[in-house]
Structure 1
Amino acid sequence: MPDHASAPRTPAFGIWLIVAGVVGWTAAFELTLERLHLLANPAAAASCDFSVLVQCKANLDSWQGSAFGFPNPILGLAGWVAPVIMGVAVLARVRFPGWFWGVFWFGTASAFGLVTWFISQSIFQLHTLCPWCMLTWSMTIPTFYAVTVHVLRIGAIPVTERTQVRAGRLMVWVPLATILSYAVVILLAQLRLDAIPNVFATFFG
């Protein structure tokens, strides 16, 4: 079994997990408040409704906004606590067995899968761009990439030493992979919703 305690210290990774967790939790909290507001005042607009395109209400009121039978932001309130805890643990050099990192990776992979689905639903079905949702997307995507690389480079899942070494070189490419992913989302939104001029007109027109 790999000695996870001997893995190199990775403060940048730990700091990112904390930042992503705090930002993601804040977005989930704000969306939860908006959902409660809309439940109490169904005819009201959400504070994050800026235009027909840039809004939260359509997302929150849709069935996609409660895909599991309860408002999606509740998932965020619970889920985003984990990266904060793991980030603190990384900075403190807490020793976790491989299966523990595997469970954490599965959680981030599940979040990534859900976010990918939510992005497609928002762009192709709801035709809206929810500001707090987009903030959640922006944190989930790089977190999944970073955690995937980390569990590979420390050997938390069964891989060869050669794979660990190669994975250790991939962390520097996470920002580029993130930017490319953002670019794909922006491109899809532009092709489907003509998003760029509409967003510009919403905030600067």
Structure 2
Amino acid sequence: MIAVRRLRHTNGWIFGTMLFSACLSLLASFVLAVDAVRLAADPHTALSCDINAVISCGTVAQSWQAQLFGFPNAFLGLVAEPVVITIAVAALGGVRFPRWFMCAAQGVYTLGVLFAYWLFYQAMFHIGALCPWCLLVTVSTTLVFATLTHVNLRDGNLPVPARLRSVLRSAIATDLDALAVTIWLLALALLVVTRYGTQLFA
């Protein structure tokens, strides 16, 4: 158990998890981008993940929220995730990025994860349909954000007060961040099931 806990705090584990999560997000973004192009050519086309009234990528993709900036949101993932993948691969290769760079990465990705959760909220409570690929983006961006925050707190990259920094470092040293992320993702799954219930499988 101690060996596993030590492994979780190594660069190999942290950036390996970040790399895997970013690759999942990139895959989902690619599929969503392809589907957006297909829908642009034929708005009535049926997508592979149009399963029922609730699990429907087409319904989500044709909402205004899916093109908030005038183009499919998936294109943002196609741009952002390769940057995260590059950071993870470089770090696994031994590159140590300067503090300002890691702070900037934290800030930009925080905006990204907030956007992902805004889209999740919109799908849950306004669009009334869920896209499996979008849900994968929500989960994977959460994991990337968690690993990025972990390494930045561990290495003292974030400009936080010394006392708070000590508390946060203690929290990640005892794996409270992993526990928090696990509980958070389980809570999201419970929210989806509670909200839609049997409609998910109708």
TM-score tier by shorter-chain length is 0.7 to 0.9
Partner Cα distance (2:10, 2:178) in 1: 19
Q: How does 1:142-157 map to 2 (within 5 A)?
A: 142-157=143-158
**Paired residue secondary structure (1:80):** helix
Question: RMSD across aligned C-alpha pairs, in angstroms?
Answer: 2.0
Partner Cα distance (2:177, 2:164) in 1: 19
Aligned to 1:110: 111
Of the structure 1 ranges 164-173 and 71-80, higher mean CA displacement relative to structure 2 is found in 164-173
Relative to 1, partners in 2 of residues 1:57 and 1:97: Cα closer, same or farther, differing over 3 Å?
Answer: same
Relative to 1, partners in 2 of residues 1:37 and 1:95: Cα closer, same or farther, differing over 3 Å?
Answer: same
Aligned to 1:100: 101
Aligned to 2:177: 174
**C-alpha displacement at 1:187, in angstroms?**
2.8
CA offsets per residue over residues 115-138 of structure 1, 9 Å max, x none?
Answer: 111111010001111010011011
Partner Cα distance (1:40, 1:122) in 2: 23
**Paired residue secondary structure (1:43):** coil
* Equivalent pair of 2:171/2:177 in contact (CA under 8 Å): no
* Equivalent pair of 1:34/1:47 in contact (CA under 8 Å): no
**C-alpha displacement at 1:176, in angstroms?**
2.2
Partner Cα distance (1:129, 1:175) in 2: 26
Partner Cα distance (1:168, 1:26) in 2: 34
CA offsets per residue over residues 45-80 of structure 1, 9 Å max, x none?
Answer: 112111111010111100000011110000111111
Aligned to 2:125: 124
Which residue identity does 2:132 align to in structure 1? P
Of the structure 1 ranges 32-41 and 176-185, higher mean CA displacement relative to structure 2 is found in 176-185
**C-alpha displacement at 1:169, in angstroms?**
4.8
Task: State yes or no: 1:189 paired with 2:180.
Answer: no
Partner Cα distance (1:99, 1:70) in 2: 31
**C-alpha displacement at 1:161, in angstroms?**
8.0
Aligned positions, number: 192
Of the structure 1 ranges 141-150 and 48-57, higher mean CA displacement relative to structure 2 is found in 141-150
**TM-score, length of structure 2 as denominator length:** 0.87
Task: State yes or no: 1:24 paired with 2:25.
Answer: yes
**C-alpha displacement at 1:165, in angstroms?**
7.5
* Equivalent pair of 1:9/1:93 in contact (CA under 8 Å): no
* Equivalent pair of 1:101/1:151 in contact (CA under 8 Å): yes
* Equivalent pair of 1:25/1:77 in contact (CA under 8 Å): yes
Which residue identity does 2:55 align to in structure 1? V
**C-alpha displacement at 1:142, in angstroms?**
1.9
**C-alpha displacement at 1:168, in angstroms?**
6.0
Relative to 1, partners in 2 of residues 1:153 and 1:30: Cα closer, same or farther, differing over 3 Å?
Answer: same
Partner Cα distance (1:83, 1:158) in 2: 21
Of the structure 1 ranges 184-193 and 48-57, higher mean CA displacement relative to structure 2 is found in 184-193
Which residue identity does 1:81 align to in structure 2? P
**TM-score, length of structure 1 as denominator length:** 0.85
Of the structure 1 ranges 124-133 and 176-185, higher mean CA displacement relative to structure 2 is found in 176-185
**Paired residue secondary structure (2:31):** helix
* Equivalent pair of 1:142/1:174 in contact (CA under 8 Å): no
* Equivalent pair of 2:18/2:143 in contact (CA under 8 Å): no
